Amino acid sequence: MAKYICTKDPNHIFDQNTADGNCSVCWAALKQTQESAEPRDIGLTILLMDASGSMKTKAFPTGSASRAELVIKNAAEGILSLSNLSNKKDAYVMPVLFDHEVHPLFIKSVEELASPATSVIF
């Protein structure tokens, strides 16, 4: 729905244009704005990660990394790859650990996770 905002004082907002197109409070010109009624696309990536005792064993007989280390590395790389999204504020990540129970860790936007000020501790 269109709104009409005073060009002199943005606190003067009207639902309809005035007859002369000027603010009825201070007489400055009004400008029309459009409020978007379109729905936003919001996304959620759920990273479901095994945290059972078997994850402590080596992932491969010839390697040194445990299964858990490989999962953590790949989860971090997956989250990092989302930082290229154009709409980071509406894209969310929810890592979840499971063993005998389900343990959600957090829900944060990609924008929050990509911020240099954000630290995530598991």
Interval 1-29: pLDDT, tens: 678 888 888 889 998 899 898 999 988 99
Lowest mean per-residue pLDDT among 8-12, 50-54, 67-71: 8-12
Task: Looking at the structure, tell me whether residues 30 and 47 fall in a common domain.
Answer: no
| Tokens at 105, concatenated | 């860790």
Task: Looking at the structure, tell me whether residues 7 and 50 fall in a common domain.
Answer: no
Task: Looking at the structure, tell me whether residues 22 and 69 fall in a common domain.
Answer: no
Domain assignment present for 121: no
Bridge partners (DSSP) listed for residue 93: 45, 108
Position 117 scores a pLDDT of 66
Task: Looking at the structure, tell me whether residues 19 and 47 fall in a common domain.
Answer: no
Domain that holds residue 15: 2-34
Can you give the pTM of this predicted structure?
A: 0.62
pLDDT above 50: residue 114: yes
Position 122 scores a pLDDT of 47
Domain assignment present for 83: yes
Dump strand ranges (E) for 1-122: 2-6, 13-14, 30-34, 43-50, 91-98, 102-104, 108-109
Number of domains in the chain: 2
Task: Looking at the structure, tell me whether residues 63 and 28 fall in a common domain.
Answer: no
Domain assignment present for 99: yes
